[in-house]
Structure 1
Amino acid sequence: MLVPLALLALVSIQTGSALAAPANDNFSAAQTVGPALPVSVPASTVDATSEIGEPSIFSNDPLATVWFRWIAPANGTNVVDLCAAGFSGSEYPTERIAVRTGASLLGQVLVAETAGACSLRFNAAAGTTYNIQVDYGNDQGTFTFRLRPLSAPVNDNFVNATAISPNLPTQLNGTTVDSGWQAGEPAALGGSGSARSVWYTWTPAATGRARISVCDPVLVDGAGNLVIALYTGNTLGTLVSVSSTNECEMDVSVVAGTTYRLAFSGTIRGELNYTLKLSSAPPPPNDNFANAAVIGPGLPVTANGDNNFATTEVGEPGHSGINPANKSVWYRWTPTTSGPVRVRGCSREFPARVSVYTGATVGTLTQVNAEPPYSPHCGVTLDAVAGVTYNIAVGGGPFQGAYGPFELDVHSLEVPANDNLEQAIGLGKSQKFKVNGSTIDATFEDSEPSHDYDYGQNSPSVWYRWTAPDDDPIIIEACAVKEPVRVAVYTGTDYSNLNKLVQAGEGCRAGFGGRLAIAPEKGTVYLIVVSPVERDFETDFTLTGVDPSYTPVAAFNLKKAIAKCKKIKGKGAKAKRKRANCIKAARLKAAIIKCRKLDGKSAQNACIKKARKRYK
C-alpha cells in the first residue's frame, strides 16, 4: 500500500519529537544525582511533557517537567538552586520546584515546593530518597541543575554579628543569600517564614548623625522588599529599637562609645548581594525651624539650597499637603511691601515639596500659601503682607532619595495675560505665525481638562486662539530652551464643550517641547494651549505655526551658538553673566540633542538629567 508523503512527514515529525524529550522527562526515569554535594549537572525541559497523575507544583498544573533523584548522605538543610541556571528559554523565567518522597508517581509526599522563586530549601534526613520536580511552565530550554548544602553567611545569627569600623566613612560587602530567621529576632525583619537577616555591631567613634545605606542591592532570589534596623542591647531579648526603615537608607543620631546592633533583612525571602555603607550625615545649617536662613526682604530672591542630611522636627507639619514631613530645611522672609508672590523650591534631583507658614514655633505654624490643584508641588503662591514674617519649608517626600540640591526662587507674581482660556491671545488668520510666550506664574483653572493623555498632571497653562484661513494642513510647534513644554489643540468655545484633537510633548525641532500637525477646516476657531511637561518647571517658549512644506530648522551648531553668545555686548558683571548663561544654555542644548540619540527612553532621560545637572 502506498503511504502519502504528508503522512510520512507527520509520522517523522511525531517520532522525532518523542525522541527529543529529555531522558528524565518521566518520574520513573528520574536522573540520579549525587549523593555528594554540591551537584551541578546540565539539564533541559525542551519537549518535556507532564504525566497523568503528576502532582501540581504550588497549585500550578505540571506542563513540561523533568525529574531528579537524590539520596541524602547526611542530615541537613539543602538548596535546589536554579538562580544562576542560565535557562535558555526565557530571560525572566518562572521556576517551579518541588521536593517529594515516595516510590511511585501516585504516592508522592510533598516535602517543600515553590513557584516564582529560583531556589528551594528543604531539610533532608540521611538515607532518604528525594524526588525533585522542575518545571519552567510554558517556557522550555536548557539549564544547569544545582543542588547544594545551605551555606549561611557568617553573620547570619545575632551572636556572630560582623563588626563595623568605628570611623566613618566605611563600607562592607555582604549577602543575605542562605541567611534565615533566628528565634527571638524582631518581627520587623520578616518573621520565621520570610526573614533573610544578617547582623552587624557598630560602636561609633564620634557623636553625631550618620547615614546607613544599602542602596542598589543585587536581587538573587525572592522579593526586593528590605528593612534596615538599628538597635541597642546585648541580646535578642533585650533589643531596643533606635530606628528602622523599609527604604534603602536612613539617617540616625548616634552617640560615641555606644554599641549598636544593625540588622539588614530581605523581609519576603529576599536574598540579596549588597554593599553596606556608613557615612557622616551632618544636617544643613538651616535644618531646624529656629535656624531658618533669612532671605530678602527685596524681591526677587534666588538661593541655592540642599536638603541632603536634613531632619524632621517633632510636630513639624507635612509639606505640600503630604504627610509625613521629610528632610526639610527652612527659610525666613519678612517682606517690606504687600502683594502676590510666587515661591518655588524645585529640583531636578528629587520631587521637592514647598509650603509657606506663619507662626513663631514649629508647633504653632499656620499654612498660608494657596494650594495648587495637584500634589506634591514645589511651587506655590502667596498674598504677602508687608511686615509679616513668613517661614518657607523645602523638603522631600516619605520615600528614598527625597533629597538633593534645589533653587529657591521668590518673586512678585505676574500671571500671563493669557493664563485663562477666556483671555486666549489671538494668533490671527494666517497659516504662519510665531509668538513668544511663557508658562511662568501660569495657573490651572478649576474646570480645565488635563492636556496630557497619559498622566493627567493638571499643569499650569496659557491659551491661544487661531482661526484657520483655509483647509491646508499646519504644523504647530511649542519650543523652549531649557524646560520641555506640551502643546495641545482643541475645538470648542469654553470648558463645557472643549474637544481635544491632539497633543504632543516631544518633537520640537528648535528646543524642548511638542510638535504636532492638524488638518484644519477653513473658518474654524482652534484653541491652542501650552503647558509645562513637568508641572512646576516653568519656562519661556516660542509658539509657531507653519505649513508642512516649510524648510526644517537647520542642525544645531554648538560652535556657532557659542560664537554668537560671545558677541553679546557689554563690559559689566551683568553682561558677563549674560554671556556665560548663553554659553551654558548652548552647551546644555547640544548635550540634550546628543542624549536624545541614545536608544531607549530610560537612557535618554538619565543622560538629560546628568546634562541638566552639569549645566544648571
Structure 2
Amino acid sequence: MKDARWIRTAIVALAGAALTLALSASAEAAPPPNDNYGSATQFEPTPGTVLGTNVDATRQSGEPQNGDSTVWWKWTATETGRFRLDTCQTVPSFDSVIGVYVGPNAANLTEIAKNDDGGCGSSNLSTLSFDAIAGVEYRFSVGTFGSESLNIRLSLRRTPLNDNYAAAYDFGAAQGSVRGSNFEATRELGEPRNGDATIWWKWVAPTSGSYHLDTCDTVPAADTYLGVYTGASVAQLLETATADDGRCGGGSALTELDFNAVQGTEYRFSVGTFGSESQNIVLGLISQACIDAKKAVRKAKDKVAKAQAKYDKAKKKVKKAKSKNKKRKAKAAKKKAKKKLKNANSALESALATSTASC
C-alpha cells in the first residue's frame, strides 16, 4: 500500500512538473502583441522612435516576404510630405527588412516602399523614404530572417524638402552660397552613391565656362561628398563631376570641385554624408571668371598701394631737396610717380568693373 501511494504521489508530482514546464514554454514562446498585420501597434509620437521586439514573432499567412519574424506598426499621416523610416538606432545591429504598406489586410497590401540592408552606414540595419499623404493610414513592417530576432528601435522622421532629385531647391543665383541641412535625409532609390543622406539643388548656367563648387564654409566640418549632374530624372543622370574630401584646407573632409558648364543648361548639385553624420551645410558656387577677376582686383590693389608709397616718398624728396638741381630731379621723379599712381588707379577701376560683371 505504501508503495502504491508513493507511486501515485510521484506520478502527480511529475505531471505537475510537466504542466509547469509546458505552461512556461508556452508563455516564453508567446509572439509579440503586434505580430500580425491586424494587431499592429499605434506608432506615436511623430516624429519619434518606438521600441519593440520580434522575438518569437512569426510571418502571417499572405503577408509580404519581409523576413521570417515580422512585427507591425500603424501610422496615419498628419501632413503630406516625405518621411524617413529606419532601424539605424537599434543596438546591437541586425539584418533587418523594413516595409511600408497600405491596405485592408495582410493579403491585400500595396507596397509603398521597402528596404533590406542599406542607409545606416556599414551595418545591415535598414532605412527607406516614402511620400505620405495626409489622412492615409500606413503600416510599417520590420522583420528578420532565420532565428535572428532582436529588440528594435524604429524611427520615423520628416525628411528635408530637397531630399529627392525631383524636389531639388533652386540655387537662386548665378553664383554665391546657399544653406541647407541633410538631417534625416535619405539616398533615393537609383541615385548615385554620394552618401547615405543626400540633398539636392538645381542651377541653370548663366554663361559657359568653368565653375567652382564647395562646402568649405560648412561649420563644423563634415565628411561631405559633392556631385554635379544633368538629366531629367534619377534614372537619366549623367555625371558632370564628383568629389569626396579635398582641397578645402586644414586637413578637413570638406569638399570642393571644378566643372565646366554650358550656358542655359540645368545642372543638379548633390551634397551627401555617410552613415549617421548629418550636417547643416553651406554650399558655395563661383565661376572661374569671378575667381580670376577677384585675383586681378587684389593684384591691382597691391599695385596701387605700392604706387602710392612711391609717390609719397617722391613728395618728401621734393621738400628735402636743397639745390635747384636736386629739386628739379625730385620734381621729375614725383611727376613720374604720380603718373604711375594714376595708371595703377585706372587699372584698379578696370579690375573692379570686370569683377562686378563676372561676379
Common fold: TM-score over 0.5:
yes
Q: Secondary structure in 2 aligned to 1:172?
A: strand
Deviation at residue 225 of structure 1 after TM alignment: 0.6
Asked whether the 8 Å contact 1:395–1:403 carries over to 2, the reply is: no
* Partner in structure 2 of residue 393 of structure 1: 269
1:344 matched to 2:219? The reply is no
Asked whether the 8 Å contact 2:215–2:282 carries over to 1, the reply is: yes
Q: Secondary structure in 1 aligned to 2:79?
A: coil
Instruction: Give the 5 Å matches for 1:108-187.
Output: 149-165=28-44, 168-187=46-65
Q: Indicate the percent of aligned positions where both proteins have the same amino acid.
A: 25
- Evaluate the alpha carbon distance shift between residue 349 and residue 157 of structure 1 in structure 2; reply closer, same or farther with a 3 A threshold: farther
Instruction: Give the 5 Å matches for 1:68-79.
Output: 71=18, 73=20, 75=22, 78=25
Q: Secondary structure in 1 aligned to 2:150?
A: strand
Q: Could you report, residue by residue, the CA deviation over 1:257-315 in whole angstroms, capped at 9, with x for unpaired residues?
A: 32222111233433222333333335139963664313443xxx44433234556779x
1:228 matched to 2:98? The reply is yes
- Evaluate the alpha carbon distance shift between residue 200 and residue 216 of structure 1 in structure 2; reply closer, same or farther with a 3 A threshold: same
Q: Secondary structure in 1 aligned to 2:71?
A: strand
Q: Secondary structure in 2 aligned to 1:168?
A: coil
Q: Could you report, residue by residue, the CA deviation over 1:430-465 in whole angstroms, capped at 9, with x for unpaired residues?
A: xxxxxxxxxxxxxxxxxxxxxxxxxxxxxxxxxxxx
Q: Which amino acid aligns with 1:338?
A: G
- Evaluate the alpha carbon distance shift between residue 372 and residue 261 of structure 1 in structure 2; reply closer, same or farther with a 3 A threshold: closer
Deviation at residue 160 of structure 1 after TM alignment: 2.0
* Partner in structure 1 of residue 170 of structure 2: 292
Q: Secondary structure in 2 aligned to 1:235?
A: coil
CA distance in 1 between counterparts of 2:164 and 2:200 reads 6
Instruction: Give the 5 Å matches for 1:543-554.
Output: none
Q: Which amino acid aligns with 1:356?
A: V
Q: Which amino acid aligns with 1:262?
A: F
1:353 matched to 2:225? The reply is yes
- Evaluate the alpha carbon distance shift between residue 163 and residue 253 of structure 1 in structure 2; reply closer, same or farther with a 3 A threshold: same
Q: Secondary structure in 1 aligned to 2:172?
A: strand
CA distance in 1 between counterparts of 2:24 and 2:99 reads 27
Asked whether the 8 Å contact 1:287–1:310 carries over to 2, the reply is: no
Q: Looking at secondary structure, tell me which structure has more helix per residue.
A: 2
1:383 matched to 2:260? The reply is yes
Instruction: Give the 5 Å matches for 1:459-608.
Output: none
1:212 matched to 2:85? The reply is yes
Q: Structure 1, unaligned stretches of length 5 or more?
A: 1-33, 38-69, 79-122, 124-147, 415-616
Asked whether the 8 Å contact 1:157–1:182 carries over to 2, the reply is: yes
Asked whether the 8 Å contact 2:161–2:167 carries over to 1, the reply is: no
1:318 matched to 2:192? The reply is yes
Q: Structure with the greater relative contact order (CA < 8 A, sep ≥ 6): 1 or 2?
A: 2
Deviation at residue 234 of structure 1 after TM alignment: 1.9
CA distance in 1 between counterparts of 2:61 and 2:24 reads 17
CA distance in 2 between counterparts of 1:250 and 1:243 reads 7
Q: Could you report, residue by residue, the CA deviation over 1:396-441 in whole angstroms, capped at 9, with x for unpaired residues?
A: 47x7547533332345679xxxxxxxxxxxxxxxxxxxxxxxxxxx
- Evaluate the alpha carbon distance shift between residue 312 and residue 294 of structure 1 in structure 2; reply closer, same or farther with a 3 A threshold: farther
Q: Secondary structure in 2 aligned to 1:231?
A: strand
CA distance in 2 between counterparts of 1:412 and 1:382 reads 10
- Evaluate the alpha carbon distance shift between residue 371 and residue 248 of structure 1 in structure 2; reply closer, same or farther with a 3 A threshold: closer
- Evaluate the alpha carbon distance shift between residue 306 and residue 268 of structure 1 in structure 2; reply closer, same or farther with a 3 A threshold: farther
CA distance in 2 between counterparts of 1:353 and 1:187 reads 34
Q: Which amino acid aligns with 2:226?
A: V
- Evaluate the alpha carbon distance shift between residue 287 and residue 293 of structure 1 in structure 2; reply closer, same or farther with a 3 A threshold: farther
* Partner in structure 1 of residue 149 of structure 2: 271
Asked whether the 8 Å contact 1:211–1:278 carries over to 2, the reply is: yes
Asked whether the 8 Å contact 1:283–1:309 carries over to 2, the reply is: no
Deviation at residue 241 of structure 1 after TM alignment: 1.1
CA distance in 1 between counterparts of 2:225 and 2:153 reads 30
Q: Looking at secondary structure, tell me which structure has more strand per residue.
A: 1
Asked whether the 8 Å contact 2:102–2:139 carries over to 1, the reply is: yes
CA distance in 2 between counterparts of 1:243 and 1:286 reads 15
Deviation at residue 211 of structure 1 after TM alignment: 2.8
- Evaluate the alpha carbon distance shift between residue 381 and residue 216 of structure 1 in structure 2; reply closer, same or farther with a 3 A threshold: same
- Evaluate the alpha carbon distance shift between residue 202 and residue 73 of structure 1 in structure 2; reply closer, same or farther with a 3 A threshold: same
TM-score, with normalisation over the residues of structure 1? 0.35
CA distance in 2 between counterparts of 1:36 and 1:406 reads 69
CA distance in 2 between counterparts of 1:201 and 1:304 reads 35
Q: Which amino acid aligns with 2:205?
A: T
Deviation at residue 226 of structure 1 after TM alignment: 0.8
Question: Cα RMSD (Å) of the superposition?
Answer: 4.4
Deviation at residue 187 of structure 1 after TM alignment: 1.5
* Partner in structure 1 of residue 110 of structure 2: 240
Asked whether the 8 Å contact 1:230–1:260 carries over to 2, the reply is: yes
Larger-Rg structure? 2
Q: Could you report, residue by residue, the CA deviation over 1:43-87 in whole angstroms, capped at 9, with x for unpaired residues?
A: xxxxxxxxxxxxxxxxxxxxxxxxxxx856565783xxxxxxxxx
* Partner in structure 2 of residue 460 of structure 1: none
